[in-house]
Amino acid sequence: MTLHMKIDVDTITEAAQRIGIKPEELKAVLERGTAVSYQAGDYLFHESTPRDWLGLLLEGEVDLVHGQFGNRILVGLGQPGAILGEAVMLDDTPHSTSASVRFSTSDRVSMRMTLTTFWASRLRSSVA
């Protein structure tokens, strides 16, 4: 089970267990995504903006911060194997934090449209 950037089975299995889905479901979502690289200081998303994708962090570290206008508080640190933006699969609420790249990072992402289509088709097939 290898993706374009050689995400191993253990990484997918551990990430899937953390968010409560089957490894093959997470693999299917990630295979629809694109490998993207970010530079230190880049933002992956900003607090209060719409959630558009789900990502699996492959390299580097991402600061998760809360607060705007100079009152920022570090609330978490994403490291390789972390899932970012997973709430896109649950609802349409905006990001509750901002995420900025601490070191050079590669992040595997799937756009929301792909996720919406994937999960909607999965739900329809489970009901039929």
The pLDDT value given to residue 107: 58
pLDDT in tens, 22-65: 999 888 888 877 778 888 888 889 999 988 888 888 888 889 99
> For residue 123, what pLDDT band results from cuts at 50, 70 and 90?
low
- Between CA 53 and CA 33 the distance in angstroms is 9
Q: What angle do CA 116, 117, 119 make, to 5 degrees?
A: 65
E strand residue ranges, 3-123: 34-38, 43-45, 53-59, 62-66, 73-78, 83-84, 98-101, 105-111
Q: How confident is the model at residue 75 (pLDDT cuts 50, 70, 90)?
A: very high
- Residue 14: both structure tokens together: 């551990």
Amino acid at residue number 62: V
Tell me what pLDDT residue 27 has: 86
Fold of 9-127: Jelly Rolls (2.60.120)
pLDDT at 93: 86
pLDDT surpassing 50 at residue 113: no
Domain residue ranges of the chain, discontinuous segments joined by +: 9-127
pLDDT of residue 84: 87
